[in-house]
Amino acid sequence: MKLNLASGSLLLFALSVILWVLLTLFESALVGMSLTTERVISFLLLVLPAGSGVVLGIMSLTRRDRSAWPAVAGVLLNGLFAAFHLMILTFAG
């Protein structure tokens, strides 16, 4: 099964949500770590996949794949998810 870029973008959003839930469930394991380590882990697990999803969605829009709505949905959902968690990491720690 070959996935197009828009589907990959939506799959990265789903992966980001799953990683967010898992990070929330196992947050107690991060208690002994330094604040910098927690921020790096949160960035790698939450912001980076969503940012990659934005890039895939934009690439899908520029390549003009079959339909535009999955690419637009991927860009919007991943962008909001990445921006929200980036703001949390920047201001709240």
* pTM, full prediction: 0.85
The residues near 66 (Cβ < 8 Å, ≥ 6 apart) are: 4
Per residue in 52-86, pLDDT (tens digit) is 999 988 988 888 877 888 889 999 999 999 999 99
Average pLDDT on 9-24 reads 92
Q: Collect all residues with Cβ–Cβ distance below 8 Å to 52 and sequence separation of at least 6.
A: 12
Rounded Cα–Cα distance for residues 80 and 88 (Å): 12
Q: Which residue's structure tokens are 């969605």?
A: 57
Domain ranges of the chain: 34-93
Average pLDDT, the chain: 87
